[in-house]
Amino acid sequence: MRFNPDALDYEGVFPGRAGRGRENDAPSEAWVTSPPIQETSTPTPIVLPETERWLRRRGHTVSFALLFLFSVILYLRPYEMIPALSGLKQMAFYTGIATLAVYAVTQLSLEGNLTARPREINLVLLLVLAALLSMPLAVSPADAWTKFSEMLLKTVLIFIVLVNVVRTELRLRMLLVLVLAVSIYLSINAINDYWMGAFGTGAVESHDARIAGSIKGIFENSNDLAMHMVSMIPIALALGLGSRNILKKLAYFGATGLMVGAVVVTFSRGGFIGLVAASLLLVRRLGKKNRVATTGAMAFAVIMFLALAPGAFSRRLSTIFNSSADLTGSSSQRTEVLKRSFWVALRYPLTGVGIGNFKHKSPRNLETHNAYTQVAAEMGIAAMVVYILFLVHPLKRLRLIENESYSKKEQTRFYYLAIGLQGSLVGFMVSSFFGAVAYHWYVYYLVGYAVCLHRLYIMKFQPEHPFPASFWQHPFAKKTEKLMSGQPASQLGHV
């Protein structure tokens, strides 16, 4: 089994002192050396008590239940769908507070730290630090605090919870199925609204007849809805390819088709370009096993897409290359704002103009419509680099899983899901060139899925490695690491 250098980048955060460093994380046994300790002694396994093994494998049960409930409220907004719950608009807030409280207590009691430290956690904490540093010099500190507290801080905290509590394949699959179910609901409603001519208010008068998401919040805008679909299409396809049940395959492939249809009826140019990028990655990765079949399926999909897509959709796509053909003027407007965001980023390279403050430097108080220049203009160029690393590093983890599981039948589901998540991240990264979504929920969940899949893969298929990703820490961990390094017993000290 090839050694994975990224498998060791998980350190715990301990209150009041520095992290303990890299520690043992084997799921069912710890390695110690029988006395007398010799530098050349061979370690022998000692099975941990059943209760400790259960806690390390199944810990955070209540925390995950609350995280799942929070995700249901975030995506479905039941207080808007069910009239009887209309008075509970703060459901997400209170559920989030309860999730954080239970998580903090459980995490401290089980592991003695506040969070594991994969590189993605470090990067997202640096992003939070950049946001805080941008506030004192912000054009409007009040606006900066509002954007930080209402968007970035919430997404980061839930991201940290997700990375730490999703410890089993079942939990990961539950979250994925939840978001897919929401995506199917949104897709059916989007296609139906387009078919019935139920466009957004004022859309026809503005020559921009486009549907709006049937669930408000993060899906209400047609471009945001398309971006979400682009990020979920590869996941649905991967789950279908990795499933051995024919009915499940049909369900996942059907969901994939519905979401592609939803992207089309949103008439989102950014969503379409993101879909193309994700599709090309999937063809390249999946084609390694059967290039002929993959290429044929791609050609068939393109033909069906062109045959079924509305004529107005192709006319709108033509405005990507000819902005003067856009009757709404949105294409030229976005170009103008993009140029302004570049200028602002270069004018304020260190801390930007303050998180959430670009609108004060923008014509007509518009957002950047680009996630990367959004971060650069509002928090500085260094923050943009951190943000890009946050998006790119999970791809390394997923590529590792893909390469390791390529020819192993028992690892098929990990193989396909690793490829699917790569497609999702690439689709989002391309689509986010056309949307100010750096602080939104989409990518933080995607990166969280990638980190958790990598951890689950190592724990399931590489447990023989002495120090795989140390998400869990136990009383023997630090001493075990010293024992494995061959230090004399007199130098071991106490844990």
pLDDT of residue 89: 75
pLDDT of residue 55: 52
User: Using one digit for the tens of pLDDT, what is the confidence trace for 281-294?
Assistant: 998 888 877 777 77
pLDDT band at 488 (very low <50, low <70, confident <90, very high): very low
203 inside domain: yes
User: Using one digit for the tens of pLDDT, what is the confidence trace for 95-111?
Assistant: 999 999 999 999 998 88
pTM beyond 0.75, yes or no: yes
- Please say whether the beta carbons of 482 and 23 come within 8 A: no
- Domain containing residue 248: 119-337+384-432+447-461
Query: Hey, which of 56-60, 224-228, 363-367, 477-481 has the most confident mean pLDDT?
Result: 224-228
pLDDT of residue 295: 74
pLDDT of residue 9: 59
478 inside domain: no
What's the maximum distance between 2 C-alpha atoms anywhere in the chain?
85
Asked if pLDDT for residue 61 goes beyond 70, the answer is yes
pLDDT of residue 303: 73
Asked if pLDDT for residue 279 goes beyond 70, the answer is yes
pLDDT of residue 375: 95
pLDDT band at 318 (very low <50, low <70, confident <90, very high): low
What is the rounded CA–CA span in Å between residue 379 and residue 344? 11
* Residue 195: partners with Cβ closer than 8 Å, 6 or more residues away: none
Query: Hey, which of 118-122, 334-338, 364-368 has the most confident mean pLDDT?
Result: 118-122
SS3 122: helix
User: Using one digit for the tens of pLDDT, what is the confidence trace for 334-343?
Assistant: 788 888 999 9
**pLDDT over 90, % of the chain:** 45
Asked if pLDDT for residue 465 goes beyond 70, the answer is no
pLDDT band at 251 (very low <50, low <70, confident <90, very high): very high
What is the rounded CA–CA span in Å between residue 152 and residue 441? 9
**pLDDT over 70, % of the chain:** 74
Say how many domains are in the chain.
Answer: 1
148 inside domain: yes
216 inside domain: yes
From the number of C-beta atoms within 10 Å of its C-beta (0-12, 13-18, 19+), residue 157 rates as middle
411 inside domain: yes
Mean pLDDT within 208-218: 71
User: Using one digit for the tens of pLDDT, what is the confidence trace for 398-446?
Assistant: 999 999 888 887 888 999 999 999 999 999 999 999 888 999 998 999 9
DSSP state of 467: S
Asked if pLDDT for residue 15 goes beyond 70, the answer is no
Mean pLDDT within 23-27: 43
pLDDT of residue 12: 54
pLDDT band at 120 (very low <50, low <70, confident <90, very high): very high
Mean pLDDT within 390-400: 94
Asked if pLDDT for residue 346 goes beyond 70, the answer is yes
- Please say whether the beta carbons of 27 and 53 come within 8 A: yes
pLDDT of residue 221: 83
What is the rounded CA–CA span in Å between residue 306 and residue 313? 10
* Residue 411: partners with Cβ closer than 8 Å, 6 or more residues away: 404, 405, 457, 461
Asked if pLDDT for residue 87 goes beyond 80, the answer is no
pLDDT of residue 143: 93
Residue type, 403: N
89 inside domain: no
H-helix or E-strand spanning residue 30 = strand 29-32
From the number of C-beta atoms within 10 Å of its C-beta (0-12, 13-18, 19+), residue 228 rates as buried
pLDDT band at 198 (very low <50, low <70, confident <90, very high): low
Q: What share of the chain is helix, strand, coil (3-state, %, to 5)?
A: 65, 0, 30
Asked if pLDDT for residue 471 goes beyond 50, the answer is no
pLDDT of residue 44: 47
Asked if pLDDT for residue 203 goes beyond 80, the answer is no
Higher per-residue confidence, 316 vs 326 = 316
pLDDT band at 487 (very low <50, low <70, confident <90, very high): very low
Chain-centroid distance, C-alpha 315? 32
pLDDT of residue 274: 93
Asked if pLDDT for residue 170 goes beyond 80, the answer is yes
pLDDT of residue 207: 43
165 inside domain: yes
**Average pLDDT, rounded, for the chain:** 79
Residues of 283-298 as b/e, b for ≥16 C-beta within 10 angstroms?
Answer: bebbeeeeeeebeeeb
What is the rounded CA–CA span in Å between residue 224 and residue 437? 8
455 inside domain: yes
Among the ranges given (267-281, 289-303, 461-475), the one the predictor scored with the smallest mean pLDDT: 461-475
pLDDT band at 480 (very low <50, low <70, confident <90, very high): very low
User: Using one digit for the tens of pLDDT, what is the confidence trace for 349-361?
Assistant: 999 999 999 989 8
What is the rounded CA–CA span in Å between residue 333 and residue 342? 15
pLDDT of residue 47: 45
